Amino acid sequence: MKKIKLVLLFLCGLANLSFGQDCNLAIRGKVIHLENNESIPGAYIWIEEIKNGAITDLDGNFQIWNLCPGTYTIKIQYLGHQDITETIELKSNSFNKTYRMEDSALDLDGVEVHGHKDAVQTTSTVSALYGEGLLEARGENLGESLKRISGVTSFSTGNSISKPVIHGLHSNRIMILNNGVRLEGQQWGAEHAPEIDPFLADEITVVKGAETVRFGPEAMGGVILVNPGELPTKKDGKTDLYLLGATNGRMGNLSITHENGSEKIQGLGYRIQGSVKRAGNIQSPDYYQSNTGLSEMNFSGTIGYTRAKLGTELYFSHFNTELGILTDSHTGNLSDLEAIIENGRPFSDGEFTYDILNPKQKVSHNLLKLKSHYHINPHWKANIQYGYQANHRREFDKRRGDLNEKASLDLELYTNTLDLFVDHTHENALSGTWGFNLIQQANSNVPGTGVTPLIPNYDMLNAGAYMMEKYSKGPFEVEIGARFDYRTVATARFVDNELEERDLSYQNFTAFLGAYYQISPSLTFSTNLGSAWRPPNVNELFSQGLHHGAAAVEIGDPDLDSEKSLKWVNTLEFSGNQTSFELTGYANRIADYIYLNPTGEVYVSLRGTFNVYEYLQADAFLYGFDFSGSHQFTNRLSAYVKGSIIRAKNLDTESYFPFIPSDRMDWGVAYKIGQEGNSHKFTVSNQLVARQKREPDFDLAPAPAGYALVNFNYLKQFPIGENKMNVGLQISNLFNTSYKEYMNRFRYFTDDIGRNITLKLNYQF
């Protein structure tokens, strides 16, 4: 067999620009043939230290931006040519070089295989959290972590339940992918946090465009990709240990990741990862919030085998959490609810304890993924991915006697997903993906709760077929795609002791058109217009009953139509030597947006009165801007700013929707001493959040006042022998300011979290 040096490498996006970094050096270059000086388009450039890279354009040019001063290993690969590896030192100036590649016909040494890293390649706006930014976010849940990306906020229920919001949309209107599998939990509930451990990721990417075509229904506002790193393919063991402690809630968090490759079997690699977290009642500046502790235990494992043509990966992740719900938020009836809202804070000062009492939630989520791909030839690749998920959610209320031990909501959700797709790439810069996707889901209420179930049992089947093609020419890229989905939902439940069964079906066609243009080496513009859809959720269709926490009776409507949206997102990105900025503007028109509307009626029972809400549909228009920028004043001093503005109108009633993030910005100054790998960095930042002036006609309480917080961050990086150590000290809400966040549902009952000092130790060996 003729030995060819075959390199399989998948690049993670074109340029993942982070925010608030004071690094803006660049590596630029040109790749040409050694024999005839002709340029080589499509060569892979990989910078090992930042786990990022680029592809040379038609003229053989490439650029990699946003690099900090330091040492970098540049690896250049092109099919049929010998690799070039070079270590360079970046100081205060950017690096520029032309590389000549030698034909590998002369080199018949062994086959080299690289690990795979699948990532989204899109003309939509993409932002990512990795490296130092992700290090700062360690210990936070997914929703909290992603607030570091401009345009992403969170919709929270207290401090421990936090759902990411992209451009004003959340829950079932965005999608979260756990290592490439769409996370299927009970995302419909406002108090149902995503069932994922952020510690399993070495990069969290947010796509801010409508991505229904690529990922299926519901990816309307955007997509969050929680991705582990590449699996090793050679023996090279690495362990990453995190130890965290925080004063507020006396939180302790431990995470460990170990990866290695096989010495005997080339291409075989594995990773195991686990984390535990325990926290007690958190403290607002003036009091403890009763019953806000949490306990979390997660682990995941991956094993992968990569040969020249075939790649296979088996992945498993387990998520398990138990979390307390603020005692005071659980009200018996409307008069209870009004009393605590009027009080504006819990009636008692509370005390510290790790105990978690009712009301509480216990959630577990298991995910299994099998993925395989096969290179049919250098241009075509076939992929198959199967995902299995089991979600078990139990919610416990304060009840009488033995019923306290029983969950009042007990749901088991099983999901199978199957993806079959082919990728193709050609020398003429045309590339694309064609695929078929099947989602099958079964939701069951576990009997014995002693409460009439809020949502029925159901079976769902969704089939979709799609294709996407991208054409690149020099600095210009254009992408189109289309998809058709068909979904059936069969529900069954008892209403007044009579079986009620419903069969529903939905179908939709979606498409997108996107373009990317590199105006100059430092300035790029991207635009993406995409349609998306979301079939109504089972709770929106069938809810009929009391929602305890909200002292509200919610009534669904089985005749709701699918939501259909059209989102246009544009981004201008500049990265110069000292300054970089990104400006994103978007508009999203949603037809038949489903929302919960107060009817103004109350329902009277022996228990008291309750507000009645119904699910309605109206046309919605959302638009806004995200911005972020940074400037390096000197080698040591830098500053950053980021922020977002969003508007959301109900076009039918000319009013505003509830729980839309208010205008906000964050700016800070950083001072760094030392070089990469051995440095001290001090950051002081200031978070400014305006009052939400655009309130809906009805709310239980007016929007809280705006607030300003000051945060402090210290990060020391230093080597211990061959290994790397990071020590971080973060103080959030430095002045222990009392405030309420509009996007927190518990603003009705309590102030937000007070000062929190977190110590982080990270040892990489």
Partner 1 sequence: MKTLQKLPLYLLSAGVFAFASCESDDPVIENDGELITDVTLHFTELDEAGNPTGPAMTFTAYDSEGIEVGTAPTVETVNLASGKSYLLEIEVANSIENEDITEEILEESDEHQFYFLGSAFVGTTAPLTYSYNDDNGELIGVKGTVMVVESPATNNAQIRIILRHDLDKNYPGADNPNFENYNSAGGESDLDITFPLVIE
End-to-end Cα spacing for the chain:
39
Binds partner 1 (CB under 8 A): choice among 295, 364, 372, 488: 372
Q: Does residue 398 touch partner 1 according to CB under 8 A?
A: yes
Positive or negative torsion for Cα 12, 13, 17, 23: positive
Binds partner 1 (CB under 8 A): choice among 73, 87, 93, 343: 343
Give DSSP secondary structure letters for 599-640. Answer: EEEEEEETTEEEEEEEEEEEEEEEEEEEEEEEEE-SSSEEEE
233 backbone φψ class: left, alpha, beta (φ>0; ψ -120 to 50): alpha
CB 308 to partner 1: min, Å: 11
**Closest to partner 1 by CB, 546 or 689:** 546
CB 349 to partner 1: min, Å: 11
**Closest to partner 1 by CB, 116 or 307:** 307
CA distance 573 to 289: 43
CA distance 576 to 583: 15
Long-range (24+ apart) CB contacts under 8 A made by 259-266 are 259/229, 259/231, 259/232, 260/232, 260/235, 260/236, 261/231, 261/232, 261/233, 261/234, 261/235, 261/236, 262/235, 263/235, 265/305, 266/111, 266/113, 266/233, 266/234
Binds partner 1 (CB under 8 A): choice among 110, 355, 401, 559: 401
The interface mask with partner 1, positions 544-583, x = CB under 8 A, is: xxx------x-x----------------------------
CB 340 to partner 1: min, Å: 7
Stretch that binds partner 1, among 56-64, 276-284, 339-347, 665-673 (CB under 8 A): 339-347
CA distance 763 to 656: 48
The token pair at 734 is: 């430095």
Query: Which is nearest to 461 in space by CA: 523, 503, 521?
Result: 503
Query: Which is nearest to 216 in space by CA: 409, 483, 527, 501?
Result: 483
CA distance 291 to 301: 32
Binds partner 1 (CB under 8 A): choice among 4, 79, 303, 418: 418
**Closest to partner 1 by CB, 168 or 556:** 556
Q: Does residue 453 touch partner 1 according to CB under 8 A?
A: yes
CA distance 521 to 725: 35
Q: Does residue 416 touch partner 1 according to CB under 8 A?
A: yes
The token pair at 534 is: 């979301």
CB 398 to partner 1: min, Å: 5
Q: Does residue 456 touch partner 1 according to CB under 8 A?
A: yes
The interface mask with partner 1, positions 485-524, x = CB under 8 A, is: -------xxx--x-x-------------------------
Q: Does residue 452 touch partner 1 according to CB under 8 A?
A: yes
The token pair at 201 is: 């990721």
**Closest to partner 1 by CB, 34 or 438:** 438
Q: Does residue 188 touch partner 1 according to CB under 8 A?
A: no
CA distance 320 to 51: 30
CB 746 to partner 1: min, Å: 16
Q: Does residue 37 touch partner 1 according to CB under 8 A?
A: no
Binds partner 1 (CB under 8 A): choice among 438, 465, 572, 587: 438
- Contact assessment for residue 663 and residue 644, using Cβ atoms and an 8 Å cutoff: yes
The interface mask with partner 1, positions 129-158, x = CB under 8 A, is: ------------------------------
Report residue 540: phi and psi, to 5°.
-70, -30
**Residues between 606 and 645 with contacts to partner 1, criterion CB under 8 A:** 606-609
Strand positions, DSSP E, 633-677: 637-650, 655-656, 664-675
Residue type, 319: F
Binds partner 1 (CB under 8 A): choice among 443, 472, 644, 650: 443
Binds partner 1 (CB under 8 A): choice among 102, 202, 459, 695: 459
CA distance 168 to 187: 16
Residue 340 CB neighbour total at 10 angstroms: 19
Q: Does residue 384 touch partner 1 according to CB under 8 A?
A: yes
Binds partner 1 (CB under 8 A): choice among 330, 381, 393, 745: 330
Residues that bind partner 1 (rule: CB under 8 A) add up to a total of: 67
Largest CA distance in the chain: 89
Binds partner 1 (CB under 8 A): choice among 16, 289, 327, 510: 327
**Residues between 291 and 320 with contacts to partner 1, criterion CB under 8 A:** 305, 307, 310, 312
Residues of this chain that bind partner 1 (CB under 8 A): 305, 307, 310, 312, 327-328, 330-333, 335-336, 339-340, 343, 347-348, 370, 372, 374, 382, 384, 386, 388, 398-401, 403, 408, 414, 416, 418, 438, 440, 442-445, 447-453, 456-459, 492-494, 497, 499, 544-546, 553, 555, 603-609
